[in-house]
Amino acid sequence: MIVVCPKCGAKNRVDERAGSMRPVCGRCGAALPAVSASPMVVTDATFAQTVLRADVPFLLDCWAPWCGPCRMVAPTIDALAAEAAGRYRVGKLNTDENPGTASRFDISSIPTLLVFHHGKLVDRLVGVQSKAAVTAKLDGVLSTAEKA
């Protein structure tokens, strides 16, 4: 997997099987973002630490296991997580098990995809979305982040 260094922008090949080893940039030696090929599970208890303090944009899928449309969008979320390469992070929040966060962000329809950057909600997509639509939103946030 290729991970872009947040400090110098160098592209680094990282072995996903490295386990608990923390990869570093081959050019500048800075620690590289954690690599995960699947979305992380976010809960009410972990939301602030995981999402609001993320050092890169964060896509949060608000879903429920009984929701058919949520199951339809799941492969897209999985693919985006696998392709993130450290540029952004992807997580899933089960709204049935985590009503505090769902209420805080007024999740009244699922699936709802929330995009956070620098601890703030910057975009929201409601309903089944194509991979292209979600990627376009993420690219918009990433291009803004790169200009800053």
The pairing of strands 89-94 and 40-42 is: parallel
> Measured over all CA atoms, what is the biggest interatomic distance in the chain, rounded to whole angstroms?
46
CA angle, 102 then 62 then 144, to 5° = 100
Q: Please identify which of the residues 5, 25, 62, 70 carries the catalytic annotation.
A: 70
Phi, psi of 129 (to 5 degrees): -125, 145
Residue 34: which of 10, 14, 8 has the closest Cα?
Answer: 14
**Is 70 part of the annotated catalytic residue set?**
yes
Residue 62 appears among annotated catalytic residues: no
Burial of 110 (0-12, 13-18, 19+ CB in 10 A): buried
The catalytic residue positions are 67, 70
